[in-house]
Amino acid sequence: MNTLGASEENIRELFSKAYRTAPSIVFIDEIDAIASKRENLQREMEKRIVTQLMSCMDQSSRLMQPAENSESSDDRPGYVLVIGATNRPDAVDPAIRRPGRFDREIVVGIPDESAREEILSVLTRNLKLDGSFDLQKIARSTPGFVGADLAALANKAGNLAMKRIIDERKHDLMSDHTEDWWREPWLPEEIDKLAIKMSDFEEAVKMVQPSSRREGFSSIPNVKWEDVGGLDVLRQEFERYIVRRIKYPEDYVGFGVNLETGFLLYGPPGCGKTLIAKAVANEAGANFIHIKGPELLNKYVGESELAVRTLFSRARTCSPCVLFFDEVDALTTKRGKEGGWVIERLLNQLLIELDGADQRQGVFVIGATNRPEVMDRAVLRPGRFGKLLYVPLPSADERVLILKALARKKPIDASVDLSAIARMEACENLSGADLSALINEAAMAALEEKLTSTGITFDAFTIKTSHFEAALRKVSPSVSDMQKKFYQRLSESFKAA
């Protein structure tokens, strides 16, 4: 209130009323609004409000002490319980967080899988569910969901069930030539069939975004393993260490496997390192945060480190989560170089988060780089980016698989032999990115031929072998022989280390 002293008077009146009606509970929601740290407050009025609240709480603790020599129950004070709630505990003045004021601090954290299952069982208690209903499966597919998110999920599933039921009824009645189908009364047997199915909840999970995932998270990529040509060895590694671990956590816990493995994908540019990380996140169905290396850098002292802490805090909140550091060499260059203070502080913070006091708890880290030789060796030990995986230029067989994966969404003519094209000498040393450019050039050549053809026909145009031959004359390898040898030597040195 604007009147001088009115806000303090309101607080005094609140506690006075609580004492008059004792035993009573005073619940102050969003207490950080009236009890923020006084050094951060600009106006004197706000500081006086904090002081008044502390004074009233001290008075309540004195009143709650039994009087000396008080025998009768009438002389005993009426108890007033004060409960505060906030989602910003660090913003509350420390003087109010001491014993005698707020004696107990209870952290209501984000529910884990078993807690989510219990919350869902409460939310669905009064809902009519159809057939076999697997609450554990829903709980596992909702990492990072809090109670309010799960309530929204149940509501959304109910809405989807209603829409499905009405659509089915409309279809049935319209097939009986009943135009005013919506006027038809519901029969008792129809009402008995109304229920929410498991499929409604599974559809709702895809549509409801949890509140903790509304900032900083990337959408789960739609890249599948089929879109990644070859690289089966890498796929098996990720299946063992990340995908199965997320899908069958109880088996890994049973065998005591608790190493939070970090992967570093390195190799020539354009070989599919980013694509692999996206496919892993898709296959595991985990939350996904895509960090482009340099975006964490900030010129102000402490801001880069704060960004790293915030990043891992978000990931832990919504575990299981895949953190993908693209161009990770930008953040992990060797320490001790002149003028590299910002990178050094950020790197130290990153090392602490990767393998420090705070366990990663279901946060899987994948890094990708073309320049592993410039990275600090402390980052490359087990527990951090400990598993070094070389992503080489594709072999002839892998080029066939990549071309077929890329051609899946293109109108390729039936006469085109992609296997023969991939094995041509002109395709030697072409990376995955080069092969993507090749197929796009062939598509462009086919499109230009269609646009410049004089006879207007409505037949479907396709990409023919001649278009691929024209494209091969334009596309050249982006990785030279010298670079290829350099990366091969580098991979051998990392294996020997």
Tens digit of each residue's pLDDT (9 = 90 or more) over 92-149 = 888 999 888 898 999 887 788 888 999 999 998 888 888 778 888 888 888 778 889 9
Residues in Cβ contact with 467 at an 8 Å cutoff, skipping those fewer than 6 apart: 442, 443, 445, 446, 449
Q: For residues 12 and 52, what is the distance between their CA atoms, to the nearest angstrom?
A: 8
The number of beta carbons lying within 10 Å of the beta carbon of residue 249 is 15
Exposed, middle or buried: residue 218 (CB in 10 Å: 0-12, 13-18, 19+)?
middle
Residue 461, pLDDT above cutoff 60: yes
Most confident listed range (77-81, 111-115, 460-464):
111-115
pLDDT of amino acid 259: 60
Exposed, middle or buried: residue 415 (CB in 10 Å: 0-12, 13-18, 19+)?
exposed
The mean pLDDT of 442-454, rounded to a whole number, is 81
Residue 134 and residue 126 in contact, taking contact as beta carbons nearer than 8 Å: no
Local confidence band at 155 (pLDDT 50, 70, 90 cut-offs): very high
When mean pLDDT is compared across 48-62, 175-189, 258-272, 325-339, the lowest value belongs to 175-189
Residue 130 and residue 122 in contact, taking contact as beta carbons nearer than 8 Å: no
Nearest in space to 119 (alpha carbons), one of 160, 152, 158, 86 = 152
| Helices 396-406 & 432-452 angle (0-180, nearest 10) | 50
The mean pLDDT of 455-460, rounded to a whole number, is 56
The mean pLDDT of 468-497, rounded to a whole number, is 82
- In this prediction, what percent of the chain has a pLDDT beyond 90? 5
Domains of the chain as residue ranges with CATH: 6-97 (3.40.50.300), 113-213 (1.10.8.60), 225-390 (3.40.50.300), 396-478 (1.10.8.60)
Residue-wise pLDDT for 170-219, tens only, equals 776 666 656 666 666 666 766 777 788 888 888 998 888 888 777 667 66
Residue 466, pLDDT above cutoff 80: yes
Residue 413, pLDDT above cutoff 90: no
Query: What's phi and psi for 129, nearest 5 deg?
Result: -100, 145
Residue-wise pLDDT for 11-29, tens only, equals 999 988 988 888 889 999 9
When mean pLDDT is compared across 60-64, 407-411, 432-436, the lowest value belongs to 60-64
Q: Cα dist. 164→167, 168, 176, 199, 232 in Å?
A: 5, 6, 19, 11, 41
Local confidence band at 344 (pLDDT 50, 70, 90 cut-offs): confident
Q: Which amino acid is at 77?
A: P
pLDDT of amino acid 73: 46
Residue 450, pLDDT above cutoff 50: yes
pLDDT of amino acid 383: 76
pTM here is 0.70
Q: For residues 422 and 397, what is the distance between their CA atoms, to the nearest angstrom?
A: 8
pLDDT of amino acid 67: 47
Query: Is residue 252 helix, strand or coil?
Result: helix
Local confidence band at 72 (pLDDT 50, 70, 90 cut-offs): very low
When mean pLDDT is compared across 105-114, 428-437, 457-466, 486-495, the lowest value belongs to 457-466
When mean pLDDT is compared across 169-183, 296-310, 372-386, the lowest value belongs to 169-183
